[in-house]
């Protein structure tokens, strides 16, 4: 069933009106109660989605702003803000492209909502597992339920996630600043994506990544969140003001767009294997499950019931935010949505220029937090494999330089960041979000309630998510690579 550009804008308006109420109720009481206790994010707002690691993990020293959280004092409202702030990020810019891959409006919105609900449930049962076992970190929770000998897998997974995040951020920086330099009048021979990535890495990212005391970068938490909110605002505004309307929009008539908006493949109900690309992107967009124990501990009067309430509110806000952005971006550009949606906008569009600036600088100053996480995780893997000297101070520069060299090589080679997002989300996102939490939860119940107890038997239903996650991972990788 095909629908026109004007119809897509009408649908977008209705969705925004309906879903904004969820976000509005949350936003009214959030900022004044904010407690910036979250740690390093993986793909969150400035970087974009999001893993924060607990105190005794390999990343125990890595925190957003370098400050430790006060445990057990966060209200539900402030915890909701912190969790949303921890998760929502630049990965949001890839969702419209996932929809443009061949997913209709209703399936796309349904996928976003259903995966959000599943992710929230899996996040909640991590907190319940902490309550049952008394463990305070994800790594210790893993060791208690899965096995001490396999704890190195936690470090390995974190390392891969951090490195993938660095590649994504590096690629976005190349995309964003190449456009900004072009608008500033830089000649094309001095303004290539690859040369810009190399220059930014050499003169800015490498020195920043050498910083050991991250407290000076505390402002990036709020800066990144503000950048995401502004970006969502301008994407929605442009979806509704007709500036990119096919054939008549003021930004589509001069031929300067990367691709003209097109809606030939737009439909209400189309659903197929290509929809797995969107599933993969969302697998990474909802990830924060390593941070479950930290959020559980920091919640005032914490309990499994209060924790689940907080998680449900936070993920409802995330679903609303993601759906609004996804449909607004798609209703503007349709089938030609890029993996980085900012690339679709006209170079003379002042709102998109400000969005690029906000995104670029928030990622620029947030990158050291992620690269530091990558360094600590790689050192943790080395220690687990019998090479503890890898994390020694004398190897600090060599390790950072090596990580950035690999990251830069990949980001210069892979032009479309959505490819990295899709593969990372399919493989690691599916494992972390859908596979590990159910296994940990059922193991925790077996330990505390007894193998074969009514509670344990009832919880086995959660194990159905394990094959679901494996299938999503395998097919998501296949379709992401096929689309590339």
Q: Does domain 5-483 have CATH number 1.20.1070?
A: no
The pTM of this model reads: 0.79
Q: What pLDDT, on a 0 to 100 scale, did the predictor assign at position 484? A: 66
CA gap 58, 71 in Å, rounded: 20
Say if residue 438's pLDDT is above 50.
yes
Please state the φ and ψ torsions of residue 170, each to the nearest 5 degrees. Answer: -60, -45
Q: Which residue has the tokens 């919640």?
A: 299
- Tell me the mean pLDDT in the region 221-245: 91
Q: What pLDDT, on a 0 to 100 scale, did the predictor assign at position 177? A: 94
Q: What pLDDT, on a 0 to 100 scale, did the predictor assign at position 71? A: 54
CA gap 349, 355 in Å, rounded: 10
Q: What pLDDT, on a 0 to 100 scale, did the predictor assign at position 396? A: 94
Q: What pLDDT, on a 0 to 100 scale, did the predictor assign at position 60? A: 37
CA gap 11, 2 in Å, rounded: 13
Q: Mean pLDDT in the chain?
A: 83
Using alpha carbons, list the distances in angstroms from residue 310 to 34, 87, 441: 14, 14, 19
- Tell me the mean pLDDT in the region 250-270: 92
Between 118 and 82, the higher pLDDT residue: 118
Q: What is residue 74's DSSP assignment?
A: B
Q: For residue 97, count CB atoms less than 10 angstroms from its CB and return exposed for 0-12, middle for 13-18, buried for 19 or more.
A: buried
Say if residue 28's pLDDT is above 90.
no
pLDDT in tens, 303-356: 999 999 999 999 999 999 999 999 999 999 999 999 889 999 999 999 999 999
Contact, 484 vs 427, CB < 8 A? no
Identify the weakest region by mean pLDDT among 237-251, 388-402, 408-422, 450-464. Answer: 408-422
CA gap 336, 256 in Å, rounded: 14
Please state the φ and ψ torsions of residue 102, each to the nearest 5 degrees. Answer: 135, 25
pLDDT in tens, 39-96: 334 334 333 333 343 434 433 333 333 333 345 888 999 899 889 887 887 679 889 9
Contact, 382 vs 390, CB < 8 A? yes
Q: What pLDDT, on a 0 to 100 scale, did the predictor assign at position 132? A: 96
pLDDT in tens, 269-291: 999 888 988 988 887 789 889 88
- In the structure encoding, which two tokens stand for residue 176, read together? 């964003």
Q: What pLDDT, on a 0 to 100 scale, did the predictor assign at position 44? A: 41
Could you tell me what percent of the chain has a pLDDT over 70? Answer: 85
> In 3D, which of 119, 120, 145 has the Cα closest to residue 132?
145
E strand or H helix that includes residue 38: none
Please state the φ and ψ torsions of residue 313, each to the nearest 5 degrees. Answer: -65, -45
Contact, 42 vs 372, CB < 8 A? no
List the chain domain ranges: 5-483
Between 329 and 418, the higher pLDDT residue: 329
């Amino acid at each position: 069933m095909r629908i026109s550009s004007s119809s897509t804008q009408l649908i977008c308006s209705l969705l925004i009106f309906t879903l904004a109420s969820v976000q509005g109720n949350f936003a009214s009481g959030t900022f004044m109660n904010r407690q910036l206790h979250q740690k390093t994010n993986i793909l969150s707002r400035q970087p974009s989605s999001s893993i924060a690691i607990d105190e005794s993990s390999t990343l125990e020293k890595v925190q957003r702003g370098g400050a430790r959280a006060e445990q057990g004092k966060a209200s539900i409202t402030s915890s909701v803000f912190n969790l949303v702030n921890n998760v929502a990020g630049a990965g949001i810019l890839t969702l419209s492209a996932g929809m443009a891959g061949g997913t209709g409006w209703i399936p796309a919105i349904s996928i976003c909502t259903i995966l959000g609900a599943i992710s929230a449930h899996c996040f909640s049962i991590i907190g319940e597992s902490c309550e049952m076992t008394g463990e305070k970190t994800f790594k210790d929770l893993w060791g208690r339920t899965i096995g001490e000998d396999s704890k190195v897998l936690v470090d390995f997974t974190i390392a891969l996630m951090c490195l993938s995040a660095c590649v994504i951020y590096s690629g976005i920086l190349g995309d964003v600043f190449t456009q900004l330099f072009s608008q500033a009048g830089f000649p094309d021979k001095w303004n290539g994506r690859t040369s810009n990535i190399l220059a930014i890495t050499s003169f800015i990212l490498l020195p920043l990544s050498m910083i050991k005391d991250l407290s000076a970068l505390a402002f990036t938490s709020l800066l990144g969140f503000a950048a995401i909110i502004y970006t969502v605002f301008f994407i929605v505004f442009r979806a509704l003001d007709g500036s990119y309307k096919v054939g008549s929009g003021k930004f589509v008539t001069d031929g300067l767009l990367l691709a003209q908006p097109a809606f030939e493949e737009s439909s209400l109900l189309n659903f197929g294997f290509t929809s797995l690309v969107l599933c993969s992107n969302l697998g990474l967009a909802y990830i924060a499950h390593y941070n479950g124990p930290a959020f559980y501990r920091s919640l005032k009067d914490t309990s499994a019931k209060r924790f689940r309430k907080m998680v449900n509110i936070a993920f409802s806000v995330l679903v609303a935010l993601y759906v609004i952005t996804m449909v607004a971006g798609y209703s503007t550009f349709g089938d030609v949505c890029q993996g980085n949606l900012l690339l679709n906008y006209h170079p003379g569009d002042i709102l998109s220029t400000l969005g690029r600036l906000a995104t670029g600088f928030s990622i620029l100053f947030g990158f050291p937090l992620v690269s530091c996480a990558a360094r600590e995780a790689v050192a943790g893997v080395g220690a687990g494999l019998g090479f503890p000297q890898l994390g020694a101070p004398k190897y600090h520069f060599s390790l950072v330089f090596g990580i950035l060299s690999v990251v830069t090589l990949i980001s210069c080679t892979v032009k479309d960041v959505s490819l990295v997002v899709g593969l990372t989300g399919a493989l690691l996102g599916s494992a972390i979000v859908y596979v590990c939490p159910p296994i940990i939860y059922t193991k925790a119940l077996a330990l505390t309630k007894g193998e074969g107890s009514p509670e344990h038997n009832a919880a086995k239903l959660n194990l159905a998510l394990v094959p679901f996650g494996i299938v999503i991972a395998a097919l998501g990788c296949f379709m992401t690579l096929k689309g590339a």
